[in-house]
Amino acid sequence: MKLYLGAGTEQYYSLVNEDGTKCPNGRITYRLKSWGDYTKKERQLTIDNIINEMFLVGVNTPRFNEILHGMEEKQAERDKLCAN
């Protein structure tokens, strides 16, 4: 999920064989960025992307709806505080 919906990778590198030669077809691997290294903005974007993906695939469970309802309540509280 972090690869496609998150901040992605922090490093790419080519795989090598035990003898030190590069793997056929220029095979490349990567290291995903740790959630602890995400900035606040990256975390918010990742969570937004996951929620959007869940909507697109049709997730409709009581727990998902409970989470969305809680997020809406928190946002309403923030909006109310900012308005005052």
Q: What is the pTM of this model?
A: 0.63
Q: What is the pLDDT of residues 63-72, one digit of tens each?
A: 999 999 998 9
Angstrom distance (rounded) from CA 65 to CA 28: 39
Q: Which residues contact 55 (CB under 8 A, 6 or more apart)?
A: none
Neighbours of 42 (CB within 10 A): 15
**Cα separation values, 73 from 7, 48, 59, Å:** 27, 16, 20
pLDDT at 66: 94
6: closest CA among 29, 28, 38?
A: 38
Q: What is the pLDDT of residues 37-83, one digit of tens each?
A: 888 998 888 888 899 999 899 999 999 999 999 989 988 888 888 88
